[in-house]
Structure 1
Amino acid sequence: MRMVMGVMVLGQLLTRILLAAHAGDRLAAARRILRDVPLIDGHNDLPWNIRKFLKNQLRDFRFDDLRESHPWSNTVWSHTDLRRLKEGMVAAQFWSAYVPCSSQHLDSVQLALEQIDLIRRLVNKHSQNMILVTTAEGIEQAHKDGRLASLIGVEGGHAVGTSLAVLRMLYELGARYLTLTHTCNTPWADCSTADEPGQVPQIGGLSNFGKSIVLEMNRLGMMVDLSHVSVPTMLDAMGISRAPVIFSHSSAHALCNSSRNVPDHALRLLATSGGIVMISFYPHFISCSGRSTLQDVAAHINHVRKVAGIDHVGIGAGYDGINLTPTGLEDVSKYPELFAELLTKGWSEKDIQKLAGLNLIRVFKSVEQVRDRMAAEGIEPFNDDIPENDIIGRDYCRYNLRQQFAKP
């Protein structure tokens, strides 16, 4: 009997050793893949945390490793520093120039400019490790050079102040996507809360001015980001856009019925237009609760792959903008573990490459090609003004040219 028990224990031990060895092999394979292709994350909110904690002062900001640095070590909102980005093999990061909804119709444009300024100063301060990138080719080159490609995404359409001229200037400053809304409607687009029970849409999608915003983004070569928007806004944007769109940090509605997630019919339309959903890691978007796991995130990735196809899924964790993280994906150092998990689910190395970054690069290049075609067609900047009826009744400080020239 003792011999039988001994054999069983030995067998269990050998099984564990073999499983550990296989897990180690898969992690090594994931790391090898990420050396070959850039891992691109679509959304990180570190810039807003720097504003919250340091008032955008970078003099004493020790970005190399924040785990033992106050106040970063004492907050649930901190998941990112240069050391952990390197451990996670992140090659390109879209930094969010987030603008809170409470600033709409007030100083939202100024806040957007200040956050873009912060991102650019952060990159300049760490130029040995980071480089500001504004093109798809720039991502590829930075990966070859071993520097973190740093891109800017503006979060919240109210950051443009209902002005196409402001949109153009944000592009000139380096912004390469604009999230059309945040958690509030703009005068030209409905956000995702409009889809929640008991809510009444303000517009029912995109207004005509909102469609002009999308077309001007196409002309500029700026990616249209549909995270945070309502489903009708998603459909309107995909219908009007000449270029593929992105969801910089969203997940699958079929697995978690949050209004922040993308329903299957929108995923299928996204596939026909060539876009991409970059999966968020926030537990409330993954499991519709305060707890989730790496395996739950993998399930969302697999769902988008099943419905839209392998060419239309990416990673947009949302670190530093979430106060809860999945078990196994606690910070930016954990990305290789996610790819290793997918290898256990039968993903090929080619598919992992697409998920990691090649899909986003394809979309980015397509957006640039649409820009070039529109330029070749002689399409000039759109100069539509938002109709006054769309902003009447709002607490909106706005210069009135007609008043300036009115008779006393």
Structure 2
Amino acid sequence: MSTDTDGGTGTGTGTGTDADAGALVEEALAASPVFDGHNDLPLALRARSGSGVEGLDLGRADLHTDLPRLRSGGVGAQFWSVYVSSSLPEPEAAVATLEQIDTVYRLVARYPDDLRIAYTAADVEDAFASGRIASLLGIEGGHSLAGSSGVLRAFARLGVRYVTLTHNDNTAWADSATDEPGVGGLDDTGLAIVAELNRVGVLVDLSHTAESTQLAALGAATAPAIFSHSSARAVNDHPRNVSDTVLERLRANGGVIQLTFVPAFISPDVAAWSADHAAERERLGLPAHSWTWPGTPRPGEDPKSVAEQYAQTLAAPPDPRLQEWLDRHPRPEATAAQVADHVEHARDVAGLAHIGLGGDYDGVDRQPADLPDVAGYPVLLRELASRGWSRGELEALTSRNVLRVLREAEEAATEPLWPTAALR
């Protein structure tokens, strides 16, 4: 299932000046807009707006994502993560996932001139042609399935096009990269879930999973898999990054790794600071983080009041002892150049046809200094152009590779369950 082509128009030698790099990037984005693998705007709207969707056309400085900045960033398609916390009991997680899916549908309905729901590669291309941003659904964590094949199929019928097998915690059937080993990768139930995802045309997403899970899934898959938001472990040895062994297996599978911008995954300095910060919180007897799962309005509740109540739970200043540590240990910054290092490593190991972008905007508190929000993609692309990337190579990275994987998963599905034209 591997197709190692450059995905675009030639392999030139790149550019020598900032102006040349900028022009090349503009041409690449006009032909092949960014198809990003992971954005947590639905979660940010749940937390900050009570799941309300207003104001995104005018700009939302409290978020990484709004419509003007998506346009500035050259984004033409987005997998919106419908993440819910893996700390929730699985039946509650399934309900909360439906609420997150509802947020995406309301978001698209509110801004029909800018956004369009997409289920297939052809839908994405139609959105490109109409000047709208294709909006697809991605479930982040197998806990959302509540151990049910019927729930999986119901989500597929609602238009979900990928499922991340785990989040930060193991499921009963799959091991996470950030939990203790459980079943040794995938057990028989996990393998059956991978088979069912392939059968109904839902992408298997291996971000957040343990390497044992990744190898088991890639060995069993009958369609290309993705990593929606991960980077290269050889560049930064973080458990959420992907080893060269797995990158080579991904190439054979035909899948794509969508390189993420999360600073702790990108920068060894930020990773070390994050580990020290976590250790200091533990030493002080503080919880691992101050974040809690936000509620969403019940029938008759005002979204603004729900958002205000949640904001009050986060309003307390840091513990003075922790603040003293933070003052003495300023947080380092990651950069677009470091992201480019991960992109180039993944290209060198997996192949040009097997890379993409998955920024994880609005899923972390801070992004690289020169990629602070969704307007930043051209900054990264100009960095790559200055290193000699051609227009065709940039086009492969931005969306052509992900479109191929989406299309091949559709073709491999024996009973595709995304909504048909009659149901849209």
TM-score, normalised with respect to structure 1: 0.81
Match of 2:173, SS state, is coil
Once residues 122 and 377 of structure 2 are traced to their aligned partners in structure 1, the CA distance between those partners, rounded to angstroms, is 23
Matched, 1:149 2:138: no
Aligned counterparts, 1:298-337, within 5 A:
298-337=340-379
Matched, 1:269 2:254: no
Once residues 394 and 52 of structure 2 are traced to their aligned partners in structure 1, the CA distance between those partners, rounded to angstroms, is 38
Other-structure match for 1:28: 23
1:3-32 per-position Cα deviation (integer Å, ceiling 9, x unaligned): xxxxxxxxxxxxxxxxx9921221121011
Cα drift, residue 105 of structure 1: 3.0
Once residues 105 and 360 of structure 1 are traced to their aligned partners in structure 2, the CA distance between those partners, rounded to angstroms, is 30
1:365-391 per-position Cα deviation (integer Å, ceiling 9, x unaligned): 1101101xx359xxxxxxxxxxxxxxx
Once residues 57 and 45 of structure 1 are traced to their aligned partners in structure 2, the CA distance between those partners, rounded to angstroms, is 14
In structure 2, what residue type is equivalent to 1:357? S
Identical-pair percentage: 43
Pick the aligned partner of 1:52 from 43, 47, 52: 47
Other-structure match for 2:337: 295
Matched, 1:174 2:169: no
Match of 1:57, SS state, is coil
Does structure 2 retain, via aligned residues, the 8 Å contact 1:311–1:359?
Answer: yes
Match of 2:371, SS state, is coil
- Cα root mean square deviation, aligned: 1.5
Other-structure match for 2:280: none
Matched, 1:239 2:224: no
Pick the aligned partner of 1:110 from 89, 95, 104: 95
Pick the aligned partner of 1:340 from 379, 382, 390: 382
Cα drift, residue 66 of structure 1: 3.0
Match of 2:82, SS state, is strand
Once residues 89 and 265 of structure 2 are traced to their aligned partners in structure 1, the CA distance between those partners, rounded to angstroms, is 25
Does structure 2 retain, via aligned residues, the 8 Å contact 1:65–1:84?
Answer: no
Cα drift, residue 99 of structure 1: 1.2
In structure 2, what residue type is equivalent to 1:48? L
Match of 1:98, SS state, is coil
TM-score, normalised with respect to structure 2: 0.78
Does structure 2 retain, via aligned residues, the 8 Å contact 1:315–1:356?
Answer: yes
Cα drift, residue 82 of structure 1: 0.1
What runs of 5+ residues in structure 1 fail to find an aligned partner?
A: 1-19, 73-77, 377-408
Once residues 50 and 344 of structure 1 are traced to their aligned partners in structure 2, the CA distance between those partners, rounded to angstroms, is 36
Once residues 385 and 91 of structure 2 are traced to their aligned partners in structure 1, the CA distance between those partners, rounded to angstroms, is 48
Cα drift, residue 56 of structure 1: 1.3
Does structure 2 retain, via aligned residues, the 8 Å contact 1:46–1:95?
Answer: yes
Cα drift, residue 49 of structure 1: 0.8
Other-structure match for 2:264: 284
Match of 2:229, SS state, is strand
1:197-255 per-position Cα deviation (integer Å, ceiling 9, x unaligned): xx4x1100001011111111111100000000000000000011100100000000011
Aligned counterparts, 1:14-25, within 5 A:
22-25=17-20
Pick the aligned partner of 1:122 from 82, 107, 112: 107
Matched, 1:191 2:176: yes
Once residues 162 and 190 of structure 2 are traced to their aligned partners in structure 1, the CA distance between those partners, rounded to angstroms, is 15
Match of 1:171, SS state, is helix
In structure 2, what residue type is equivalent to 1:276? V
Matched, 1:90 2:75: yes
Once residues 103 and 376 of structure 2 are traced to their aligned partners in structure 1, the CA distance between those partners, rounded to angstroms, is 26
